[in-house]
Amino acid sequence: MSELTTVARPYAKAAFDFAIEHNAITQWQDMLSFAAEVSKNETIRKLSTGSMAADKIAELYINVCGDSLDEHGQNLIKILAENKRLTVLADISAMFNLYKAEHEKEVEVSITSASELSEAQQSGLSTALEKRLARKVKLICNVDPALVAGLVIKAGDTVIDGSVKSKLNRLADALQA
């Protein structure tokens, strides 16, 4: 997987730089997302890894994507087909999204709680996390009754585990030591 990321990075960076230059970040994000979904189709995947000529594969992608790709998006598909890189479209799309989030100073934060959080609790958490992380926060809330109580907060590499389940596990480890 890291090899695919290495291959996808220059394409994602070039697409992102182009999107910034032309003030079309959202448009490019939509195009890449759609093309990535097309690339996940089993029939398309087999054709793009087969022995079909690059221009024919590019034409197939462009026809399937239709109006979802503008002229510049079509050019990217042609370049990827020529370089036999259509299989990394999903990675390109994911990296583009990361570049966008970094550019907009936004971070996705996953919050797992024992019970459903109210709007007020989500708002309070969002405000506190924005101060701590110095970024705009997008909350993704999940419920896991196994936590008993408390929260587990994940933002990138940062994990804050304030769940009762975790505290009980630490207490059990300490008692066994």
pLDDT > 70? residue 4: no
Cα 72 from chain centroid? 22
Cβ distance 5 to 87 under 8 Å? no
- CATH number for 2-102 (one of 3.90.1150.10, 1.10.520.20, 2.60.40.420, 1.10.10.10): it is 1.10.520.20
pLDDT band at residue 1 using 50, 70 and 90 as cut-offs: very low
CA 16 to chain centre: 14
Output the pLDDT for position 2. 56
When the pLDDT of each residue in the chain is averaged and rounded to a whole number, the result is 84
Domain layout of the chain by residue ranges: 2-102, 106-176
| Those residues with Cβ within 8 angstroms of residue 143's Cβ, 6 or more apart along the chain or in another chain | 112, 113, 114, 115, 116
Instruction: Categorize the per-residue pLDDT at 3 as very low, low, confident or very high, splitting at 50, 70 and 90.
Output: low
Residues 122-149 have a mean pLDDT of 85
d(CA 134, CA 105): 8
